[in-house]
Amino acid sequence: MNPIVSLSRGVTRLNSLLGVWILSYLVIVMVVLLLFEIVARYVFSSPTIWASELTQMIFGAYVMLSGGFLLMRNGHINVDIFYDRLSARGKALMNIATCFLFFAFTAVLLKEGWAMAEESWAMRETSFSAWNPPIWPLKIAIPVGAVLLLLQGLVSIVGDVLVLAGRADMAARIVDGGADA
C-alpha cells in the first residue's frame, strides 16, 4: 500500500480511537461530576470546591482534543448554501482552494498553544482557586489537539486530491479508515 495512504489511514484511525474510546467517555465523567456537585450542594448543603473546576478542566481538554475527530466526521461548521450543491469533485476543489484558511488557523493555534503550554509547564502553573490544581497538563492539550487537527486536515486534503484524480474509492478508504474503530 502507498505510504501516504497508510499514514493517512493511521491518522484517521488515531483520531477515531481517541474520539470513540476516550473523549466520548469524558462526557460521562463530566455528567457524573456535575450530578455529584448538584447532589452535594442541594441535597446535603455541602458543595465541593473541586467538582465544578474539574469539570471545566475536563471540558477544556475535551474541546481541544476532539478537533481531529470532528474533522474526520465532517462535524465542523460549514457554509452549506453553495457547498451542498457541488459535485464530489467540486467539493474537493473548494476544499483545496480554501485549505489555506484552515492551515493558517491551525498553524497559529499550534504556535501560540505551544508557547502557552511551554510557559505553563516551566512555571508549573496552577489555577489559583481554593482547590488550586495544576493547569499545565490542560494547556499541553492545546498543541496536542492542534497537531491532531493538523494531521487530520492533511488527510482530508489527500482525500480531496484523490477525488480530483478520479480515485474517490481510495479517498473514501483513507478518510473513513478509522471510522469503524
Dihedral of CA 92/94/97/100: which sign?
A: negative
Confidence of residue 168 (pLDDT cuts 50, 70, 90): confident
pLDDT exceeds 50 at position 180: no
Burial zone of 139 (CB within 10 Å; 0-12 exposed, 13-18 middle, 19+ buried):
buried
Confidence of residue 177 (pLDDT cuts 50, 70, 90): low
Copy the grid coordinates of residue 169: 474509492
Copy the grid coordinates of residue 85: 450543491
Dihedral of CA 102/80/160/152: which sign?
A: positive
Among the listed ranges 1-10, 13-22, 172-181, which one has the minimum average pLDDT value?
A: 172-181
> What was the pLDDT predicted at 80?
78
Instruction: Please tell me the number of Cα atoms within 13 Å of 44 on its side-chain side.
Output: 9
**Cβ neighbours, 10 Å, residue 107:** 12
Residue that has been written with the C-alpha cell 441535597 in this structure: 43
Calculate Rg over the CA atoms of the chain: 20
Distance from C-alpha of 177 to C-alpha of 181, rounded to nearest angstrom: 9
- What distances in angstroms separate CA 156 from CA 4, 31, 42, 145, 167, one per listed residue? 12, 32, 48, 16, 14
Confidence of residue 143 (pLDDT cuts 50, 70, 90): very high
* Interval 43-91: pLDDT, tens: 999 999 999 999 999 999 999 999 999 999 888 777 778 888 889 999 9
